[in-house]
Amino acid sequence: MSAANIETVSTAGDKAKLVLVGLLVVAAVAGFYTLAPQGVIVQWLALVAGLAAAVVMFLLSIPGRQLVAFGTDAWREVKKVVWPTRKESTQMTLYVFGFVVIMAAFLWLTDKTLEWVFYDLILGWKK
């Protein structure tokens, strides 16, 4: 299996876009708190507008486009998954619970046996 070709080319323009994204987020949060005397609606509009501008700027950068491509590929792969039916899920859950009960009983029995061997037979300590 060969590794996929990965190119990491960061231009000055993309770095500037990412810096601008960070500044827009900071400005949106600062605007939210600065505009408190103007009212709640103005506060939230400033925050939402600043964050929307940051998202748009991020999506225009190469890392933003790569993130969208990754999301698209991931969604395509999720569609290929064959999910179990309700009956299969219930059966597997019951198998797991059954195994847990059997394993718990086995470990309890092993613990009690070792306790009996060490404390009663070897050391002679009676409870």
If DSSP codes are grouped into helix, strand and coil, which group holds residue 123?
A: coil
pLDDT tens by residue, 76-98: 999 999 999 999 999 999 999 99
- pLDDT for 121 equals 83
Q: Residue 85 and residue 127: Cα distance in Å, rounded? A: 52
Instruction: Report mean pLDDT in 10-residue bins for the chain, 127 residues.
Output: 57 89 95 93 95 95 94 95 95 98 98 92 76
Domain range for residue 72?
9-81
The predicted model scores a pTM of: 0.57
- pLDDT for 3 equals 53
46 and 93 in one domain?
no
**Is the CB of residue 17 less than 8 Å from the CB of residue 58?**
yes
68 and 45 in one domain?
yes
44 and 13 in one domain?
yes
Residue 31 lies in a domain: yes
Residue 2 lies in a domain: no
